[in-house]
Structure 1
Amino acid sequence: MHIVVYGAGAVGCFLGGSLHAEGHLVTLIGRAQTKDAINAQQGLRLSDYIGRDLLIPHIRFETSEAVLAEADVVIIAVKCLAMEQVSERLLHFCRPGTRVICLQNGIGSNHFLTRQQHDLIVLNLIVSFTVTQYGHAHVHRSSSGALHLETPQHLATIAESLSEQQLDIRIEDNIESVRWARLQLSLNNAINALSGLPLRDQLQQRDYRRILASAMQELLHVSDAQAIRLAQITPIPARWIPPFLKQPDWLFRHSANWLVEVDPIASSAMQADLNRGKMTEVLYLNGAVVEAGEKLGIATPVNRALCRLVGEAEAGLRKPGLSAEQILDEIA
């Protein structure tokens, strides 16, 4: 089985490297600078917050999308913003019956592929942990979390291999309930990006957590109105997370690792995008809550403000490094 990972960023390299370590034929598609960096250190380095550190040698890397024609399975690990273009390339190159696994976080980006008339088998895999990229040839799993898969008969071999790499694999009957539960957690990406702080430092400040709890509560109102019951992907149910976040700092710090383990230096991918001057996925995350709220007549002022603030940062009109008080002032 030939697995092609389309998008050799942090998550794509981590999953592709893990599958290569289990003996699969894996090809990464990405930029020349990543290929050069991997060649320079004679392999792709994988590490994680529990102490694993591996160098994965001899992994195939291509910069041309033509290799998609060889794939039995394609793992799409690009940003939501790239999905329209990627969908066109998949339909052009892939053979009928190719299994295409979409990793995109947020709501709406997969529609570019699923609404097309094609002979591809489109599946979903939701990643509920954080992967950080250090340079171009080192990826680091920086938080706890699982891989949530649908349709196990199509992904059984891949699931077994990833499980051998000490990853928590969960087979889901209702992938949309998992997608919305993952979105609830991802609403913090915008807050973290605007703060400019490592995730752990940001989450240890109650006022930032109060903003996150309010953004999450808006999502819960929207999901309730759509009769979407959020899956439980953390040790506590989704509905309990907002009040948990509002605890005093001393109590939260005592219990936070029980909810999710995070490296001290980890930050969100959205923060990395802002630091590199790239467009973010905020419209597929907080923006998805705003859009759903507009359709349902539900106010979402917190998520709307976060979208605006991130948009201003993308445009260079505002620098990251906002205090919680500054964000709260913009919401009021």
Structure 2
Amino acid sequence: MEIAVIGAGALGGTFATLLARAGHTVTVTARGPALAVIQAEGISLTGAFGAVRQHPLALERLARTPQLTLVCTKAQDAAAAIGENARVLDGSPVIVVQNGLDGVRTAGALLPRSDCFGALSIIAANYAAPGRVTVTTAAPTYLGRGTGVADAATLAWRDVLGDAVPTLALDNFVGAQWTKLVVNMLNALPAITGMSVQAVVDHPGLRRVMTDSMRETVRVGMKNGVRFGSLQGLGDRPLRAFSRLPTVLGQVLPLRLRTRMGDVPNLGSTQQSLNRGQLTEVDYLNGAVVREAALAGVRVPVNELLTALVHEVEARGVPLAPPDVLERFAALRR
């Protein structure tokens, strides 16, 4: 099958390489040094899926209509990337592999004749350099759309992707996006401090802040009538129970997620963007919680400050020391 992957970062590189290994004809879009490296050397994948090198066709933008497209850009880049390729994509099926809540809606608005799906990938992958990706955790990808039961088209694309990477079809995909948003609260503090996700969770003070950001996210979803979808052993009932726990007991959630990661340092996608000198997608993660809270008429001070601190580190180019971060959060409670 002819499959396009828009974006050749950590996840895009992973999907492109594994799909090519499974026998599909893969085209990736990339820019700058990454485009030149992939054209000359292909993409090298190491880690949990094994050592793989594939040579997909690499272009700045798509030249022909594929049978399926995966959009693997950061959330803030999705609209521009889809728009640049809309002429050849509109009418062709698209799967948006992305964090946040807006990806499928964005694709549907720009590609009104396309069948649009979302994918939530739990794969932990580090972008080591242009054309080089290391997978630290091989985990499933969850595919779906809407709030109902997974339809026949979702099941068919699950089978296509499943030849390359473990893929599950999801009921209540929108609810699962909210569950993944809770999990993505792992991202901000590593970016702010320059520490790995595991090191942040192991730090008692930072773990408490992370727990509070997760609790705010769940409570905003509940306020907006969200029924959380099943993902990584989490779901509506466990998350609602988590939201009622005192912070000291609620810390079991980030500790549980940390256990699943193993000991290979996971930087998180937000910190990886900072390390490459790029803007982060924090406005589509913690910032999404802030926006949804405003719609519900509530405040989320922890996520507001996390969003501001990530932007501060973006501007400074230097991470903040944990004591300085904790002092900023202590000021919220005064």
Normalising by structure 2, we get a TM-score of: 0.86
Is the deviation greater in 69-78 or in 21-30?
69-78
1:306 corresponding residue in structure 2:
306
Note the C-alpha offset of 1:168.
3.4
Cα separation, 2, equivalents of 1:266 and 1:312: 22
Cα separation, 1, equivalents of 2:296 and 2:138: 34
Q: 1:281 to 1:225 in 2, by over 3 A?
A: same
2:329 corresponding residue in structure 1:
328
Note the C-alpha offset of 1:86.
2.2
User: Runs of 4+ in structure 1 displaced over 6 angstroms?
Assistant: none
1:200 corresponding residue in structure 2:
198
Choose which of 56, 60, 82 in structure 1 pairs with 2:57: 60
Give the AA of the match of 2:311: G
Note the C-alpha offset of 1:248.
11
Give the AA of the match of 2:266: A
Q: 1:288 to 1:15 in 2, by over 3 A?
A: same
Cα separation, 1, equivalents of 2:44 and 2:242: 34
Q: 1:230 to 1:30 in 2, by over 3 A?
A: same
1:183 corresponding residue in structure 2:
181
Note the C-alpha offset of 1:234.
2.2
Q: 1:218 to 1:135 in 2, by over 3 A?
A: same
Q: 1:300 to 1:2 in 2, by over 3 A?
A: same
Q: For residues 119-143 of structure 1, what are the alpha-carbon distances to aligned partners after superposition, in whole Å with 9 as ceiling and x for unaligned?
A: 1111111112321111122212223
2:140 is equivalent to residue 146 of structure 1: yes
Q: 1:272 to 1:116 in 2, by over 3 A?
A: closer
Q: 1:43 to 1:87 in 2, by over 3 A?
A: closer
Report the RMSD for the aligned CA atoms in angstroms: 2.8
Note the C-alpha offset of 1:294.
1.2
Is the deviation greater in 222-231 or in 53-62?
53-62
Cα separation, 2, equivalents of 1:39 and 1:282: 31
* Runs of at least 5 residues in structure 1 that lack an aligned partner in the other structure: none
Cα separation, 2, equivalents of 1:228 and 1:125: 19
Q: 1:307 to 1:252 in 2, by over 3 A?
A: closer
Task: Confirm or deny: 8 A CA contact 1:100 1:121 kept in the other structure.
Answer: yes
2:39 is equivalent to residue 44 of structure 1: no
Q: 3-state DSSP class of the match of 1:106?
A: coil
Q: 1:4 to 1:207 in 2, by over 3 A?
A: same
Q: 3-state DSSP class of the match of 1:131?
A: strand
Q: How many residues align?
A: 323
Note the C-alpha offset of 1:189.
0.7
Give the AA of the match of 1:57: Q
Task: Confirm or deny: 8 A CA contact 1:232 1:238 kept in the other structure.
Answer: no
Note the C-alpha offset of 1:5.
0.4
Cα separation, 1, equivalents of 2:44 and 2:156: 23
Q: For residues 148-172 of structure 1, what are the alpha-carbon distances to aligned partners after superposition, in whole Å with 9 as ceiling and x for unaligned?
A: 111563355653354344x432211
Task: Confirm or deny: 8 A CA contact 2:211 2:253 kept in the other structure.
Answer: no
Q: 3-state DSSP class of the match of 2:316?
A: coil
2:3 is equivalent to residue 6 of structure 1: no
* Runs of at least 5 residues in structure 2 that lack an aligned partner in the other structure: 145-149
